[in-house]
Amino acid sequence: MSSLQYILEILGTLFFAISGALAIRDRNPDLFGATFTGFVTAIGGGTLRDIMLGAYPLVWISDINFLYAIFLGVVVAYIFFKVLVGLRRTFMFFDTLGISFFTILGVEKALSLGLRPEIAAMMGMFSAVMGGVIRDTLINEQPVLFRKEVYATACLAGAVLYLVLYRFDVPRDINLIISSAFIFIIRMVAVKFKLALPNFKR
């Protein structure tokens, strides 16, 4: 694992922990509840991905820094709770940073295990969105995956871009940055202009 990839994975974990802790803003939970929500949001998708891929030990078990990143994220959310919640779109901003990093890292993980690119793209998307799905289920909200907005599609687009650049031998660190930024931009533009995919049911 390159140093940049490791930094992005730690940052993605931190951002997801912040978004998970902020998600309980309207439910008046205690500190433990916020910590638990931040924890499952941060490690949920990656854990399910690694279990499906048979990749052990799970990354947050083998590296204590991931737990530190989660606890730091919860502390940041706790200390600056009123400020962060008061800022419109803050929750979405941290969540988008999380999915941007985790998608590409999920693709990398699958490729490192020798899986086909198509499966790697799916694993990247899966590891990015499932933490949010678990978070929304815990707080009794409709999972973001099923809302009328661009979310998983942005992850899949970024995963495909990464694989294309990978195929053309773009340096790994540059590819990580470009593909993660691509996901972030798609998501932010979609939210700003209220873009959505066509309804399945006509």
Q: Which amino acid is at 16?
A: F
- Could you state, in order of their start, the residue ranges of all structural domains in the chain? 3-192
CB 182 within 8 A of CB 150: no
Plot region of 98 (φ>0 → left; ψ -120 to 50 → alpha; else → beta):
alpha
Residue 41, C-beta contacts closer than 8 angstroms, at least 6 positions apart: 16, 17, 19, 20, 23, 98, 131, 132, 134, 135
Tell me the two tokens of residue 27. Answer: 């439910």
Is this prediction's pTM over 0.75?
yes
Strand segments, DSSP code E, in the chain are: none
Per-residue model confidence (pLDDT) at position 177: 93
What pLDDT tens digit does each residue of the chain (202 aa) get?
Answer: 568 888 888 988 998 999 899 888 766 668 888 899 999 999 999 999 999 999 888 989 999 999 999 999 999 999 988 888 766 577 788 889 999 999 999 999 999 999 999 999 999 999 999 998 998 998 888 887 787 778 999 999 999 999 999 999 999 999 999 999 999 999 999 988 888 888 777 6
